[in-house]
Structure 1
Amino acid sequence: MSTAVATPPATPTVTARKGKLSFPHLLRSEWIKFWSVRSTFWTLAIFLFTVVALVVLITLAIHNAPPESQGGPSDADRSDPLNAFQAAVYLGQFAVAILGALTITGEYTTGMIRTSLTAAPKRLPVLWSKGLVAALSMLAFSLVTVAASAGLQWLFFNGVGIGVDLGNSQQVRALFGTALYIATIGVLAFAFGALMRHSAAAVSTILGLLLVIPIIFAIVPWKPLKYVEPFLPGSAGQSITMTDAQIAQNVAGTVGAHLTAWQGYGVLVAWVVVVLGVAAYLLKRRDA
């Protein structure tokens, strides 16, 4: 008599699929992270309110200023709609700079950067995707802010001769350049954040370059500083926010390089490339 031995059924072998984290996947992930942080909405809201309110208020102040014979602005300055934008952007840019720095330093503060770099061991795609999402988001929001400011200025003050002329290529280029400058400042702050990996250090550095150092260069009577000042990121980049006539008026009687609008913006881009390049090199070399 024989005994039947039950043979256990063969278990099929399941081969785990290796997932590939592509660059579009990284972009989607960074997009979600960028817009899921409350600081993004707060800083962009502050930027929008600051720029729009200041453009309207400064335009109102220029319109109500006394005539030139009584110490007020000249007739050319009074009718130039871009003067209000320059003062508004000078203050509003700091909110975007802070956002750009926090986009990357916030992950180092929370330790989330380790998870990101574990998912993408090559590291640099993480940096590029973060920077691209931040740059496109800040550029789009800057364009909306500039358009809203120009629209309100035209709505309230076009009847008194203060409003952007869309048929004037110089004014249109300056308006687009204003949004481009703001977004690029945000990317520069992002680059310093990637380099320093600390929020306070990155924010202090970018604000120092935009606010403190230009004032020091202006008040210290040392001629070599006058030759360096046109190549500071803020001084050079702001030329793209002005018409050629405004640039010529600003550089009249000054020493050093006289940069055109696109030359000045090229200097600002060079700052971004150098700082971001150093940050990328150190990201590959340092521990997270």
Structure 2
Amino acid sequence: MTTLATTAAPATRRGAAGPARWRDLLGAEWIKLWSLRSTPVVLGVLLVFYLYLAYRAAQLAHDSYPTWPAFARRDPDPAHDAFDFPKFLLLMATAGTIGAMSVAGEHASGLIRTTLVAVPARGRVMLAKAMVMTAVLAVLGLLVGIGCWGITLAVISDRITGFSFTTPGIWRVIAGTTVMVPVCGLTGMAAATLIRNTAGTVFAVLAFFLVGPLAVKAPLPLLSADQRADLGNTLPAYAWGRLTLMSHGHLVEHVGSIPAAWISLAVWAVVSVGITVTVLRHRDV
């Protein structure tokens, strides 16, 4: 009689893989974003362009200062020139487009399918993408904020005195710019997640950031002037604009409070991330 020997099967297979680590997800999304040659080029051009705009605005204020009326010389607001609202609408629109293309581009190329085969956890993938986008655009916003103010001080300091990096309120302006840029990018990502069409997404983002702030100030049916102002103050553009005001001389109409402006930006960021992370779970790619 012979005895058959059996070998116990291993309890686990060496090839079984666990959930993707956050470090790997963030690294993969960083590579996707930064490996596109257009990304560093666009970000670099934006930074240089807005530093130049700040220089030109400061030079104009410096040269025209002797002709200012007395009340303007008593209460100057260099931040109003360094962070000119209409000019910064283009930065918002570009940041929104960068965020939108990070999502729409993957859907158009089919890369999103490959990504989700490797990492089926859709929510984690999109959250990692949002985190990388936030970090990159926040650095851009910080450099723009510090650079614009630094250049303004360097140009105007011999005529318009009393301002520095310790001026009360200036770090609110810089922080607001640092937050505003990624908020616009996250809004663009949410728009791309909902629309899922490259041309339609870009059109919607540009219309929202370039036309929206102007359209909401136009006479709208069934809305009073105060209601239109309240509606406008909820937009990221006007929330950032409120944070950049350092002189009461520029409060020419109904504006929201500073806490309300921070809350508005935070709500846009949270809602945008929520849309980006959750909607893809219920859609085919």
For residues 278 and 56 of structure 1, what CA distance do their matches in structure 2 show? 38
Deviation sequence 1:215-273 (CA, Å, 0-9, x none): 22223265143442222232223322333x45x842x543xxx4222321211221232
For residues 63 and 187 of structure 1, what CA distance do their matches in structure 2 show? 37
Q: Is the 8 A contact 2:96 2:188 kept in 1?
A: yes
Query: Which deviates further from its counterpart, 39-48 or 193-202?
Result: 193-202
Q: How many residues align?
A: 269
Structure-1 residue corresponding to 2:68: 68
Change over 3 Å in CA distance of 1:137–1:163 after alignment to 2: farther
The question of 1:268 aligning with 2:265 is answered yes
Partner secondary structure for residue 169 of structure 1: coil
Q: Is the 8 A contact 1:65 1:73 kept in 2?
A: no
For residues 259 and 131 of structure 2, what CA distance do their matches in structure 1 show? 22
Q: Is the 8 A contact 1:44 1:95 kept in 2?
A: no
For residues 103 and 162 of structure 2, what CA distance do their matches in structure 1 show? 38
Change over 3 Å in CA distance of 1:76–1:28 after alignment to 2: farther
| TM-score computed with the length of structure 2 as normaliser | 0.83
Deviation sequence 1:141-186 (CA, Å, 0-9, x none): 2212322222222223222226852222311221222222122222
Q: Give aligned-pair identity as a percent.
A: 23
Query: Which deviates further from its counterpart, 49-58 or 179-188?
Result: 179-188
For residues 91 and 162 of structure 2, what CA distance do their matches in structure 1 show? 20
For residues 81 and 163 of structure 1, what CA distance do their matches in structure 2 show? 11
The alpha-carbon deviation at position 76 of structure 1 amounts to 5.0
Partner secondary structure for residue 169 of structure 2: helix
The alpha-carbon deviation at position 121 of structure 1 amounts to 0.8
For residues 119 and 163 of structure 1, what CA distance do their matches in structure 2 show? 57
Partner secondary structure for residue 74 of structure 1: helix
For residues 76 and 109 of structure 1, what CA distance do their matches in structure 2 show? 55
Structure-2 residue corresponding to 1:237: 240
Matches within 5 A, 1:172-187: 172-187=171-186
Can you give the 5+ residue segments of structure 1 that lack an aligned partner in the other structure?
1-12
Letter in 2 for 1:269: A
Q: Is the 8 A contact 1:43 1:96 kept in 2?
A: no
Structure-1 residue corresponding to 2:215: 216
Q: Is the 8 A contact 1:105 1:193 kept in 2?
A: yes
For residues 163 and 142 of structure 1, what CA distance do their matches in structure 2 show? 25
Change over 3 Å in CA distance of 1:287–1:164 after alignment to 2: farther
Partner secondary structure for residue 134 of structure 1: helix
Letter in 1 for 2:243: I
Partner secondary structure for residue 37 of structure 1: coil
Q: Is the 8 A contact 1:98 1:189 kept in 2?
A: yes
Letter in 1 for 2:232: E
The alpha-carbon deviation at position 208 of structure 1 amounts to 1.9
Partner secondary structure for residue 287 of structure 1: coil
The alpha-carbon deviation at position 190 of structure 1 amounts to 2.0
Query: Which deviates further from its counterpart, 212-221 or 121-130?
Result: 212-221
Q: Is the 8 A contact 2:123 2:277 kept in 1?
A: yes
| TM-score computed with the length of structure 1 as normaliser | 0.82
Partner secondary structure for residue 65 of structure 1: helix
Q: Is the 8 A contact 1:153 1:162 kept in 2?
A: no
Deviation sequence 1:5-24 (CA, Å, 0-9, x none): xxxxxxxx994422332121
The question of 1:153 aligning with 2:152 is answered yes
Structure-1 residue corresponding to 2:6: none
Query: Which deviates further from its counterpart, 112-121 or 261-270?
Result: 261-270
Q: Which has the higher contact order (CA 8 A, sep 6+)?
A: 2
Structure-2 residue corresponding to 1:5: none
- Let me know the Cα RMSD of the aligned residues: 2.8
For residues 13 and 234 of structure 2, what CA distance do their matches in structure 1 show? 58
For residues 227 and 151 of structure 1, what CA distance do their matches in structure 2 show? 33
The alpha-carbon deviation at position 104 of structure 1 amounts to 1.6
Letter in 2 for 1:259: G
Can you give the 5+ residue segments of structure 2 that lack an aligned partner in the other structure?
1-9
Matches within 5 A, 1:67-216: 67-69=67-69, 74-76=72-74, 79-87=76-84, 88-161=87-160, 164-216=163-215
Letter in 1 for 2:54: V
